[in-house]
């Protein structure tokens, strides 16, 4: 088995670049998954695993968990503990990583179903919110999640970690502008609702989102959706909250909308 022990190894430098830079991931069509569970999730979902990197003790400790990745990986490379710490995107690491190919999208604007129930994230900034929304969308059986191109990268380490494998299993599309995504949804006959803090809007419990052919659009954490985009959606829904609170976290709001879509 090949072994990498030097922090100056060109492979280590390239893997660090893939973890840190969205452009590098896009140019290479590759990303680095970290942790035994996430690596196994990728392999089980059919994501192409090019190389599995692990410290010898981690390979032994997590061998059962890693069985799908070990079977799928093109090669397995041992790494030293200092190399693992260099590659880690978190403060502590379990010593397991996989270099994977970014899979083709399972959802596109052309494959939207007229009876589908979708969530749209527009111009979010926090990768943790994106990952948490993906995790909730998978948990509540959402038919797909669409993100504008300026949202955090789906294959960045923070999104992957927060999504807990959801990036590999939920139909996702990331790209384009909000007007383009709205046009695609509406062309498919899907009713679009803007989530906005508008007391004149329909309340969440009255919107009856638990039906076919509906999408909820959530905007930027700080600014929400621009007025023209709220108008373009055609319908507006808000979550009644205490007057003592200014707003809800974007991923919490997303979870409430997703629950309502599948509640009955």
Label residue 114 exposed, middle or buried (CB < 10 Å: 0-12, 13-18, 19+). Answer: exposed
Q: Is 31 helix (H, G, I), strand (E, B) or coil?
A: strand
Q: What is the pLDDT of residues 85-102, one digit of tens each?
A: 999 988 889 999 999 999
pLDDT score, position 197: 80
At 35, which helix (H) or strand (E)? none
Other Cβ atoms within 10 Å of 181 Cβ, number: 25
- Dist CA 124 CA 130 (whole Å): 7
pLDDT score, position 264: 63
The pTM of this model reads 0.94
Joined together, the tokens standing for residue 72 give 């799928």
At 230, which helix (H) or strand (E)? helix 227-233
- 202 to 182, 210, 262: CA distances (angstroms): 19, 14, 18
Average pLDDT of adjacent 10-residue blocks, the chain of 264 residues: 94 98 98 98 97 98 98 97 94 95 95 97 97 97 97 98 96 97 98 88 93 96 92 93 82 96 81
pLDDT score, position 90: 81
Q: At what angle do helices 127-139 and 250-262 cross, to 10 degrees?
A: 10
- Give the closest residue to 153 by CA, choosing from 84, 89, 230, 69: 89
Joined together, the tokens standing for residue 100 give 């994977």
- Dist CA 168 CA 159 (whole Å): 12
């Amino acid at each position: 088995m090949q072994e990498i022990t030097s922090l100056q190894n060109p492979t280590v430098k390239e893997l660090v670049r893939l973890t840190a830079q969205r452009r590098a991931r896009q140019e290479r069509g590759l990303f680095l998954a970290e942790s035994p569970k996430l690596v196994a999730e990728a392999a089980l979902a059919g994501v192409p695993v090019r190389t599995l990197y692990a410290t010898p003790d981690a390979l032994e400790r997590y061998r059962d968990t890693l069985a799908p990745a070990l079977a799928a990986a093109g090669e397995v490379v041992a790494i030293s503990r200092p190399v693992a710490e260099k590659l880690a995107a978190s403060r502590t690491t379990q010593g397991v990583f996989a270099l994977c190919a970014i899979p083709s999208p399972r959802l596109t604007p052309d494959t939207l179903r007229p009876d589908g129930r979708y969530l749209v994230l527009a111009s979010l900034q926090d990768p943790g919110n994106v990952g948490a929304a993906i995790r909730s969308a998978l948990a509540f059986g959402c038919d797909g999640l669409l993100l504008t191109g300026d949202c955090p990268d789906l294959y960045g380490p923070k999104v992957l970690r927060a999504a807990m494998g959801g990036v590999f299993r939920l139909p996702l599309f990331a790209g384009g502008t909000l007007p383009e995504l709205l046009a695609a949804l509406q062309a498919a006959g899907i009713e679009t609702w803007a989530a906005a803090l508008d007391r004149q809007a329909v309340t969440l419990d009255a919107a009856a989102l638990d039906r076919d052919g509906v999408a909820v659009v959530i905007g930027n954490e700080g600014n929400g959706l621009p007025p023209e985009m709220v108008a373009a959606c055609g319908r507006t829904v808000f979550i009644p909250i205490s007057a003592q609170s200014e707003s809800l976290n974007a991923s919490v709001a997303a979870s409430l909308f997703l629950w309502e879509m599948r509640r009955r």
